[in-house]
């Protein structure tokens, strides 16, 4: 099912998961990356921080691609108000998974859609609950190498599926992009441009 997007679309992300999700949704897009400072300003909550980072990524690409709608995204895992980013090493991954074990956390993807100098940001939140995990399960999962490049030290679309007891909300948001929501927002932008 083609979503009927007429605009040129650029994804400002190197994430193979976001690339795969857009491709599976039949969206034609190019990839363009710019190196940016992803430091989140002090005082922002996790959702604001994710939107800020998504905007920085999208706007850097949008300034040189003014004829396209640029998608920037940033996914964070939040437990007790603390943002769990990508683990620094295997030990860090083990510690993160121990924190998440048997508990519910929130996955937030901040999205920015930029077109020239105009842009809009929004976010999507999903809840994930992990089964209580044994030290052996954690060690085995970390040894696979999968958690090392992922926020919160797990990939729900990969071997990390074995850790998950339940989810609430958009599954694809947890993977890295709430595709259906993004498509709807792009269509709204296109409608505004037509009028």
Q: How far apart are CA 25 and CA 1, in angstroms?
A: 7
74 is catalytic: yes
Residue 1 has pLDDT above 60, yes or no: no
How far, rounded to the nearest angstrom, does the alpha carbon of residue 126 sit from its chain's CA centroid? Answer: 11
Which pLDDT score is estimated for 2? 61
pTM of the model: 0.93
Q: pLDDT exceeding 90 applies to what percent of the chain?
A: 85
- The two structure tokens encoding residue 104: 């519910």
State the average pLDDT over residues 120-130: 98
Using one digit for the tens of pLDDT, what is the confidence trace for 18-51?
999 999 999 999 999 998 888 889 999 999 999 9
SS3 of the chain: CCCCCCCEEEECCCCHHHHHHHHHCCCCCEECCCCCCCCCCCCCCHHHHHHHHHHHHHHHHHCCCCCEEEEEEEEEEEECCEEECCCCCHHHHHHHHHHHCCCEEEEEEEEEEEECCEEEEEEEEEEEEECCCCHHHHHHHHHCCHHHHCHHHCCCCCHHHHHEEEEECCHHHHHCCCHHHHHHHHHHHHHHHHC
Which pLDDT score is estimated for 3? 73
State the average pLDDT over residues 86-107: 97
Residue 195 has pLDDT above 70, yes or no: no
User: Of 54, 50, 58, nearest to 32 (Cα)?
Assistant: 58
| 70 confidence band (pLDDT: 50, 70, 90) | very high
Domains of the chain from N-terminus onward: 8-194 (3.90.950.10)
State the average pLDDT over residues 150-175: 96
Determine which one of 74, 89, 135, 149 is catalytic. 74
User: Residue 187 burial (CB < 10 Å; 0-12/13-18/19+)?
Assistant: middle
């Amino acid at each position: 099912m083609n979503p009927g997007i007429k605009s040129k679309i650029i994804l400002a992300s190197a994430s193979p998961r976001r690339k795969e999700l857009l491709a599976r949704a039949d969206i034609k897009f190019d990839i363009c990356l710019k190196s940016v400072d992803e430091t989140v300003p002090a005082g922002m909550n996790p959702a604001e921080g994710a939107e800020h980072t998504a905007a920085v990524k999208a706007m850097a690409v949008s300034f040189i691609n003014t004829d396209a709608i640029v998608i920037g995204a940033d996914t964070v895992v939040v437990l007790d108000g603390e943002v769990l980013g990508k683990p620094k090493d295997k030990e860090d991954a083990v510690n993160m998974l121990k924190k998440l074990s048997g508990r519910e956390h929130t996955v937030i993807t901040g999205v920015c859609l930029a077109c020239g100098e105009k842009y809009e940001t929004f976010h999507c939140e999903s809840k994930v609950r992990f089964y209580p995990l044994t030290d052996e399960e954690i060690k085995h999962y970390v040894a696979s190498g999968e958690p090392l490049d992922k926020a919160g030290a797990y990939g729900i679309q990969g071997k990390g599926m074995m850790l998950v007891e339940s989810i609430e909300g958009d599954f694809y948001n947890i993977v890295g992009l709430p595709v259906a929501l993004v498509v709807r927002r792009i269509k709204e932008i296109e409608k505004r441009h037509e009028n």
